[in-house]
Amino acid sequence: MHMISDLFHLLYKAASSALFGILLLLAFMVTAPIGSDAHWGLYRYDLLLIYALVIQSVLLLCKLESWKEAKVIAIFHVLAMIMEVFLTHPEIASWQYPEPVVFKIYTVPLFAGFMYSAVGSFFARALKIFQVKICALPPFSWMIILSVISYLNFMTKFFIWDARYILFLSSILLFHKTQVYMTLKQRQIKIPMLVLLLIFACVIWIAENISTFFNIWLYPSQLETWHMVSLWKLGSWYLLLLLSFVLVLKVLGHRQGNGDWTLNCKL
């Protein structure tokens, strides 16, 4: 019984942390019947933008998210939009948004950045809800270098060789000793950071399949008939999660000289 109780408690905390993302996924499902139809001069993607802005505003007004957390989420939002504009350019066409939209930047609906913001929101909320502490965290200078190179590799791989396998190896060397401590019912559970990032990558891969199924975006091979997203995408999500996680840790907490990281008590 204790194991079942602990599992439900863990799932409850995880769902609370992922509130933004869960609400977005629900909106993707509910708005699917709209398709390409216009309502009041706006399309589905435009309505999703308004919906995401309302969610963000409510989280701030209800103090479920601090302005400092919103700051780091906004940074990730901007970085994601830059990447989206590049990767959806017709000459690259890694994926596309198949439905019409009014509010967009080139080929990217403005709401798209909020999908990445949901990841940043999850990390920021989870750090508080699970009272996270981290041991043996590498220096931020090394983590930022790895994150920046990983981010650039999403775009430079189309012009020079893809460095993702070197980046995977580098992340293992950098984080193989890093342990994440989370509080669950007054007890601390320890999980290696690399394992945690892989678990999160799998969760986002599932969310990605839901999103493409409901026509939020589509990969070239899904245009005629939908199919599940390749498991190879787990590697891309792993590297993108690394960028988000490092940004959140840098802005919202403090790393001591011995590698211990704690959340800023003012949040």
Q: How far apart are CA 85 and CA 1, in angstroms?
A: 50
Asked if 263 and 127 touch (Cβ cutoff 8 Å), the reply is yes
Q: Per-residue confidence at 64, pLDDT binned at 50, 70, 90?
A: confident
Taking the domains of the chain in order of start, what are their residue ranges? Answer: 2-263
In angstroms, the Cα distances linking 110 to 22, 44, 71, 199 are 19, 12, 18, 28
CA 137 to chain CA centroid, Å, is 20
> Over 70: is that where the pLDDT of 10 sits?
yes
Q: What is the pTM of this model?
A: 0.92
Query: Would you state the pLDDT for residue 7?
Result: 73
Average pLDDT over residues 192-208: 95
Q: How far apart are CA 78 and CA 98, in angstroms?
A: 22
Q: Residue written as tokens 């008939």? A: 225
Asked if 50 and 163 touch (Cβ cutoff 8 Å), the reply is no
- Tally: H helices and E strands in the chain: 9, 7
Average pLDDT over residues 104-114: 95
Query: Would you state the pLDDT for residue 68?
Result: 83
Residue range 125-153, pLDDT digits in tens: 999 999 999 999 999 999 999 999 999 99
Phi-psi region of 246 (alpha: psi -120 to 50; beta: other; left: phi over 0): alpha
Asked if 119 and 75 touch (Cβ cutoff 8 Å), the reply is no
Average pLDDT over residues 195-223: 96
Query: Would you state the pLDDT for residue 65?
Result: 84
Query: Would you state the pLDDT for residue 235?
Result: 95
Q: Which residue has the higher pLDDT, 101 or 59?
A: 101
Q: Per-residue confidence at 20, pLDDT binned at 50, 70, 90?
A: very high
Query: Would you state the pLDDT for residue 266?
Result: 63
Query: Would you state the pLDDT for residue 223?
Result: 92
What does the H/E/C string look like for 203-219?
Answer: HHHHHHHHHHHCCCCEC
Long-range CB contacts (within 8 A, 24+) of 24-27: 24/48, 24/52, 24/55, 24/114, 24/115, 24/118, 25/207, 25/210, 25/211, 27/51
- DSSP alpha helices (H): ranges in 216-261? 233-252
Q: Where are the beta strands (DSSP E) in the chain?
A: 104-105, 108-109, 133-135, 179-184, 187-192, 253-255, 261-263
